Amino acid sequence: MQRSSSENSSSNGYFLLLFTGLVFGTLEVVSKLMPHIGPLQMSFLRFSIGGLVILPFGVLDLRKRETQVSLFDAVYVLVLGILLIPMSMTLLQVSVTKVPASLVAMIFSANPMIIAALASLILKERMGLVEAVFVALGMIGIVLIIQPFGKGFDIGILYPLASVTLFGLYIVLARKLSKKLGSVFVTSAAILAGSAVLGLYAAATGVELFASLTWKDAGYLAYLGIVVSGFAYVTYFRGMDLTTTNTGSAVFFIKAIVASVLSAFVLDEVLSPAVYMGGVFIASGIFVMIAGNSARAGKYRPAR
């Protein structure tokens, strides 16, 4: 009975992660449908909505932990929020205006490899053979995608590359606090803090955050805020709780596949063979990580 319950939990986790990947994959494409809305405006609106959607789940989790939020924690959350929203996510929205939506999603699929590399450098986490192969395949994939030494190199591709690197840095720096306060609470608080800072910056620089919005835009923004930046983040963390963090890394490749298909049908985008080859390397890296960790888990599982 216990084993059956465990298997059901894992199945629910896989379903939640699949849902997350499918929803995340629509982000860049839907953003492209609102070209008249600036990156700063888009980031502020969708994450202000998303942060409020996630917050009740985060507060509930925090109460279960019976943990107090210190002044240092609050300041640290603010720093994380600035790194996440005004920097990483706003750069992501800039990326959509510079390069194809599917290309942005493909680069973002290497996020787990970037996190692993940054964790090794910053947190001094030991990188075994599986992790080294995982990171190496991801880096090869990124090089094939951006083609830094090729004649067709587009400098606009540096925007999504900077965005995914900053997002990886956010994840790594948030790890210790997330263990204390919970990933969902830290994410919701960081999103709201970052959105507030972005709003203050917009007010100071004269950017109108609610200008040029139509009823169609309101529908798109409600979807991006409530579903993509809200519920999908909750299902992402819950899915990893029910499976493993490494299994959760597959979300970003599912996202890339969905974005590529939608971009082809909705935006008529076509990517080069080199980009798809890069995607194959990234997918291979994710497979190596999941398979390697599954094998290690089986090796060290206590005998019954």
Q: How far from chain centre, in Å, is Cα 261? A: 19
- Reduce the DSSP state of residue 132 to 3 states and report it: helix
pLDDT at 303 over 50: no
User: For the chain, what is the largest distance between any 2 Cα atoms, rounded to a whole number of angstroms?
Assistant: 66
Residue % of the chain over a pLDDT of 90? 40
Backbone angles phi, psi at 182, to 5 degrees: 95, 140
What would the pLDDT profile of 282-297 be if each residue is shown by its tens digit? 888 878 877 776 666 5
Q: Average pLDDT, whole number, for the chain?
A: 85
Cα 202 versus chain centre, distance: 24
Q: What is the pLDDT of residue 230?
A: 93
Mean pLDDT of 149-157: 72
pLDDT computed for residue 297 by the predictor: 58
Q: What is the pLDDT of residues 30-85, one digit of tens each?
A: 999 998 899 999 999 999 999 999 999 999 999 998 889 999 999 999 999 999 99
